[in-house]
């Protein structure tokens, strides 16, 4: 056992060393960072520990798949910004003979028709860019309170003449204390490589590697649960600093205050349960707020997300929205069982 832990810890440190500089603006397949389901979007876009019977939420962390998600199905649609459409499907199954959960899913992005022009601005036609990730996952219980899981991903991008694909793995561990309504998790995301580059060269770009940790606590005497999630733990300063843009604008968006750098890693979330049929969710993503507060445009609601869930016996309906400057997205998710059983 000690030997296994030592090997895992060494592998963990190796991953940090290799990917420590993988930040926004320098990676490919960044659509992997977009939340696939309404509940995840409402929780601030990043959450790996929320206590919920939602197979769509588990799409983001394989260690969250549970036996009671057997034959559960999630379908999600996101009417995103600028005409972008996002569709997601996921489902899970439990294999009794090996006491293991298996799941599969797809997250698809449709950017619509875009005019194709040459350098002089002459319109040559239209092209239809798309992104998608297909994945399979497995999870297993260990010593009653621990769950571990792994996801294998295949990513594909099609931007007209420019096409790319790649593979990646997610590895997650969850500690769940059901008696005290507490759950904690660690997740390593997007360990992998680009297989085919956009320009056909051998110069591969890095994937949006991320190390996340999160905790969730549901109060015993009140119908509320809180979550705190930390992301991009492999680097301290994760603000994206475009020096050319800063020079043109006469300023800098890079914040050198240590406290701000710490908070940029955090996402806070809360869920309120009204009876057993209704849930209200809110989240706050500090990094998203910073990135959206441009020099001459700011919205005090940037980074804030909201959600509403109607939890019927055989159907869970969830809606999420959030603020992007003067715009909002609208995401809807449905959860049901393939055989019509209660969720």
Q: How far is CA 66 from CA 46, 57, 138, 139, 169, in A?
A: 20, 12, 10, 8, 19
Residues in CB range of 214: below 8 A, 6 or more apart: 47, 48, 49, 184, 185, 187, 227, 228, 229, 230
Q: pLDDT (tens digit, 9 = 90+) per residue, 168-217?
A: 999 999 999 999 999 999 999 999 999 999 999 999 999 999 999 999 99
Query: Using CA atoms, how far apart are residues 279 and 271, in angstroms rounded to an integer?
Result: 7
3-state SS class at 86: strand
At 1 the pLDDT is 41
- pLDDT, residue 256, reads 63
User: 240 Cβ partners below 8 Å, 6+ apart?
Assistant: 23, 24, 25, 253, 291
How far apart are alpha carbons 3 and 5 in whole angstroms? 5
Q: Nearest Cα to 266, choosing from 248, 297, 288?
A: 288
pLDDT band with cut points at 50, 70 and 90 for residue 263: very high
What are the DSSP calls for 120-180, one per residue?
Answer: T--EEEEE--EEEEEEEEEEEEETTTEEEEEEEEEEEEEETTEEEEEEEEEEEEEEEETTT
**What is the structure's pLDDT at 282?**
98
Q: In the predicted model, is pLDDT for residue 245 greater than 90?
A: no
In degrees and rounded to multiples of 5, residue 81 shows phi and psi of -80, 155
Instruction: Report, as an integer, the average pLDDT of 273-292.
Output: 93
pLDDT in the model for residue 15: 46
Residues 6 or more apart in contact with residue 68 via CB below 8 angstroms:
53
Check residue 67 and give its pLDDT: 94
Mean pLDDT is lowest, of 13-22, 289-298, 329-338, for: 13-22
Mean pLDDT, residues 7-18 taken together: 44
> pLDDT-based confidence at 103, cuts 50/70/90?
very high
Helices (H), the chain: 2-19, 38-42, 55-58, 243-249, 258-263, 286-292
pTM for the model stands at 0.89
Q: Quote the longest CA-to-CA distance of the chain.
A: 66
The string of pLDDT tens digits covering residues 45-90 is 999 999 999 999 999 999 999 999 999 999 999 998 888 999 999 9
User: What is the reported pLDDT for 82?
Assistant: 82
| CB 227, CB 219: distance < 8 Å | no
Query: What is the predicted pLDDT for the residue at 290?
Result: 82
Instruction: Retrieve residue 97's tokens.
Output: 């003979």
Q: What rounded mean pLDDT belongs to the chain?
A: 89
Comparing 19 with 86, which gets the higher pLDDT? 86
User: What domains appear along the chain, each with residue ranges and CATH number?
Assistant: 2-114+125-337 (2.40.160.40)
pLDDT value of position 301: 85
Could you tell me if 135 and 58 are in contact, meaning their C-beta atoms sit under 8 angstroms apart? Answer: no
Helices (H), 183-257: 243-249
The 10s digit of each residue's pLDDT in 109-126 is: 999 998 988 888 889 889
Nearest to 29 by CA among 125, 163, 211: 163
Please, what is the Cα angle at 44 between 42 and 46, to 5 degrees? 115
């Amino acid at each position: 056992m000690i030997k296994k832990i030592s090997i895992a810890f060494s592998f963990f440190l190796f991953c940090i060393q290799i990917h420590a500089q993988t930040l926004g603006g320098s990676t490919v397949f960044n659509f992997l960072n977009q939340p696939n389901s309404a509940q995840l979007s409402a929780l601030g876009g990043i959450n790996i520990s929320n206590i919920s019977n939602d197979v769509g939420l588990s799409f983001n962390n394989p260690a969250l798949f549970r036996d009671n998600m057997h034959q559960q199905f999630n379908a999600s649609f996101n009417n995103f910004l600028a005409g972008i459409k996002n569709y997601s499907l996921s489902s899970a199954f439990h294999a009794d003979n090996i006491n293991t959960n298996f799941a599969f899913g797809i997250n698809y992005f449709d950017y619509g028709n875009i005019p194709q022009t040459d350098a002089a601005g002459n319109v040559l036609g239209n092209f239809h860019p798309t992104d998608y990730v297909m994945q399979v996952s497995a999870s297993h219980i260990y010593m009653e309170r621990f769950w571990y899981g792994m996801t294998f991903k295949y990513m594909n991008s099609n931007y007209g003449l420019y096409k790319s694909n790649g593979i990646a793995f997610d590895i997650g561990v969850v500690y769940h204390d059901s008696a005290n309504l507490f759950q904690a998790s660690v997740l390593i995301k997007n360990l992998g490589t680009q297989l085919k580059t956009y320009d056909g060269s051998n110069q591969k770009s890095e994937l949006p590697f991320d190390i996340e940790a999160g905790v969730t606590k549901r109060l015993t005497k009140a119908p509320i649960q809180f979550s705190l999630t930390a992301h991009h733990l492999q680097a301290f300063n994760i603000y994206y600093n475009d020096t050319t843009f800063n020079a043109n604008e006469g300023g800098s968006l890079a914040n050198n205050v240590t406290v701000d750098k710490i908070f940029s890693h955090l996402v806070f979330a809360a869920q309120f349960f009204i009876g057993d049929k209704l849930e209200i969710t809110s989240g706050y993503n500090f990094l998203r707020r910073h990135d959206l507060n441009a020099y001459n445009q700011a919205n005090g609601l940037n980074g804030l997300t909201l959600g509403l869930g109607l939890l019927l016996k055989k159907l869970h309906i969830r809606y999420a929205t959030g603020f992007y400057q003067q715009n909002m997205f609208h995401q809807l998710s449905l959860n049901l069982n393939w055989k019509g059983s209660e969720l």
